[in-house]
Structure 1
Amino acid sequence: MINITFFHNKQKIDTNNEAPIWMTLTFNGQRIRKSIKDSKIKQSSWNNTKARVKNVTVNSKGITSELINARLEELEENIRKINKVVLRENIRLNEEYILSKLENPQTIDARNISFFQAFDEFLEICKGHKANNTVKNYTTIRNFIERFQTDTKYKIELELIDFGFYEKLRDYAFKKKNVADNYFVKVISVLKTFMNWAIDKRYCKATDFKKFRTHEREKEVIYLTKEELFKLYNHNFESRKLDHVKDTFCFACFTGLRFSDLRTLESSNILEGYIIKNIQKTKEVGSKIPLNRFAQEILDKYRDTIHYPLPTISEQKYNKYIKECCEKIEIDTPTTIVEYRGNQSFQKTVPKHKLITSHVARKTFVTNSLIFGMKELVVRSITGHKKESSFKKYVKIADNIKQTEMENTWDKQ
């Protein structure tokens, strides 16, 4: 790494009682000293503490303090750029290389790019091959990291994504923003994805981030039991908007479709008792989902209406209205959820209807399908779950319920 400092070389004073500003470059135990062209000033014009020319100063050649200071700042910025290239390309420094780059700064590195410039480029590229919700999530994480920089004044650079950065980001997340462990896991996961992309683009060579470790906590699976689901399904709401949301939500409970796929469902996707469509999140082409009779009944309800195959609204309103639906039919079992933030846990108990969102429908389908006896492989084939680890929590719930049923029936005989 190169360090740069400036000093007023009083040993070179001229007949105008002015002396030039010199720069000192140190690297690998070596030192370079060079004068800066047209920088001569009087000793009284130099601020030794700030290593800058005092304001409102003009030298004997008519050159202002603003112009000289701008030159000093330009030299500092070029040294920072050289350091980035040296780190990335593993270049062996020598005097000739450094001075040639300072004399021709346009040759330092055409690819020099800031952390957030690179991240924005990454997001643009992701728009071409990632699902919209994935890009939105990436953007949310990018903005969280930018707020971290703004709030803490910690300058983020591609080559300096190291353990010092990780510790400051972790403390900010848990102590300042009170985010849950699983959100921080997402932050680090997206950061790693971005940094691997940046390395592939040869924007940096930093690899400390590969050793960042986070621990995802297993969350409670919130789902509607069979009784709760059919209580909702069979209820006719006076409000048309609530009845529409109820039908769409139940359709997801009967098919396992994500909200993003419900919103893009078209009549052409319904064919001979199946839903056949491309899945947005996983990019799975031509996924084939069988329609059970309850899902078919909902489609039939809207067949000759402008809403066919399903009425849809924004996810924000959808989540608001489905909570209202469940509250009206008294799905209010006290439900306890636990959140972890670093080494602390926080527990709260709320009526179940407060926890119902679009994601609950898919969890309802998976959990009840397993409880009813559908084979794991079949359920995963319908839902498109890729990771066995993320699916096991549903299997565990189903097994526990089956065990309870066994104890409440055969074991009591």
Structure 2
Amino acid sequence: MEAIRLQPFRMNLSRSRSRYYDVDKIFVDFVSEYLEKSHRPEGYKMMYLNTMDHLAKFCQLYGIDVLTDVYTDSIGMEFCENFVYYLRAEKKLMQNTVKGHLERLQAMIQKAMLFGYCVDNSHKEVSVAEEEVESVFLSMTEIIRIYYFDRLTRFQAEVRDHFILGCMTGLRYSDYSRLNESNFDRDTNMIRIKTKKTGVVVSVPMHRFVRELLRKYDYNLPKPRCIQYFNRCIKEISRKVGLTDPVLWERTVGTEVIRKEIPKWELISSHTARRSFATNMFLQNIPTYRIMLITGHKSEESFFKYIRVTREENAATLAGHLFFQ
């Protein structure tokens, strides 16, 4: 591999102290101690540990010992700029992945400051723009095609049924994969569940497809496989159904922009169900705030980033408006 061309810089090991703080600490020691005491989920901790692993390898490239030389106030603007370039040019990570690593690094610096350690606030001057990714959704026509498709194995049929539950409830995989009889109110045809990610109790009316699926399993849904199997399986199901329309895929990988067309089924995953629910409800002119009460979005800005409406679909919806009659 061609050697990475990073701009040379020298670590400021002398570290000027703030008049508010008179303590510094080895940065990775602080992060390790913070995560050890944190009550956040293991998945959250693993993301930060992964960022720290990249940080250690970045420092190694410069001949810097991350365990002895990098303090809480060693990481400033120049350090962060070089770290970002390393993730792009050497590791060839996607732009949003780079953004995540930078934000986690900066979040730990801010935590260190709150704990009273001296930090270099110039790190805030570095940012990575979020790249809008092509995340597909399924129209109701496509969902119906999947729902009635019968040339599946038993395990594929179970994955398909769980996926349909996601499409018609807007729940995350972590929630629709653990639905059980206690979540179903047969008198009111409602699903109630405390969401795993946010801890909020949501109520969702049962769509006809949901009621049919629950009766099919006598309200005792089969236990789903792991999410990796689920995602592989729903892609295969979508391919069998014939969801092969080409979709333009564009990503910034490392320092290059890669564009290619790939069949739609390759982009379908467990999370496509939730995105499809939100988009289809929006296309049915259901008020945004009512959809957000189910999806859990805190702002319309984040909600509108989430839904997927093409220009053609938007034009078709507008065509029925009185203004265009």
Shift of 1:173: 1.2
Unaligned runs of 5+ in 1: 1-79, 93-108
Letter in 1 for 2:59: Q
Displacement after TM superposition at 1:291 (Å): 2.0
- Cα root mean square deviation, aligned: 3.0
1:366 aligns with 278
1:301 aligned onto 2:216: yes
The answer to whether the 8 A contact 2:162-2:177 is kept is no
Deviation digits for residues 303-352 of structure 1, max 9, x if unmatched?
26xxx234311111111111111111111111111112576421111111
Give the Å deviation of 1:150.
3.9
Which SS does the other structure have where 1:159 is aligned? coil
Question: For 2:123 and 2:198, how far apart are their aligned partners in 1?
Answer: 26
State the partner residue of 2:141: 227
Are the aligned partners of 2:156 and 2:237 in contact in 1 as well (CA < 8 Å)?
yes
**Structure 2 counterparts to residues 272-287 of structure 1, below 5 A:** 272-284=188-200, 286-287=201-202
Deviations 1:105-156 (A, max 9, x none): xxxx7xx642222222232344x1x355434433333333333334554444
Bigger RCO (CA 8 Å, 6+ sep): 2
Unaligned runs of 5+ in 2: 1-12
Structure 1 partner of 2:55: 145
Does residue 175 (structure 1) correspond to residue 85 (structure 2)? The answer is: no
CA contact (8 A) 2:275 2:307 kept: no
SS in 2 for 1:275: strand
Q: 1:240 to 1:141 in 2, by over 3 A?
A: farther
Amino acid in the other structure paired with 1:182? N
Question: Which deviates the most, 312-321 or 256-265?
Answer: 256-265
2:259 to 347, 352, 356: 347
- The Cα of 1:281 is off from its aligned counterpart by 1.7
Contact 2:75 2:123 in 1 (8 A): yes
Asked whether the equivalents of residues 231 and 269 of structure 2 are also in contact (C-alpha less than 8 Å), the reply is: yes
2:295 is matched with which residue?
383
Distance in 1 between the 2:148 and 2:180 partners? Answer: 25
TM-score, structure 1 normalization: 0.66
SS of alignment partner, residue 73 of structure 2: helix
Which of 163, 167, 178 pairs up with 2:77?
A: 163
What does residue 87 of structure 1 align with?
Answer: 17
> Does 143-152 or 322-331 show the bigger shift?
143-152
If you compute each CA radius of gyration, which structure gives the higher value, 1 or 2? Answer: 1
Count matched residues.
Answer: 307
Query: Deviations for 1:133-184, whole angstroms, at most 9, x for unmatched residues?
Result: 4344333333333333345544442211112211211111111111122112
Letter in 2 for 1:332: T
What is the TM-score when the length of structure 2 is the normalising length?
0.83
The residue aligned with 1:254 is 168
1:4-403 equivalence runs, <5 A: 87=17, 113-126=25-38, 128=39, 130-156=40-66, 157=70, 158-271=72-185, 272-284=188-200, 286-303=201-218, 308-341=220-253, 344-394=256-306, 397=309, 401-403=313-315
> Corresponding residue for 2:9?
none
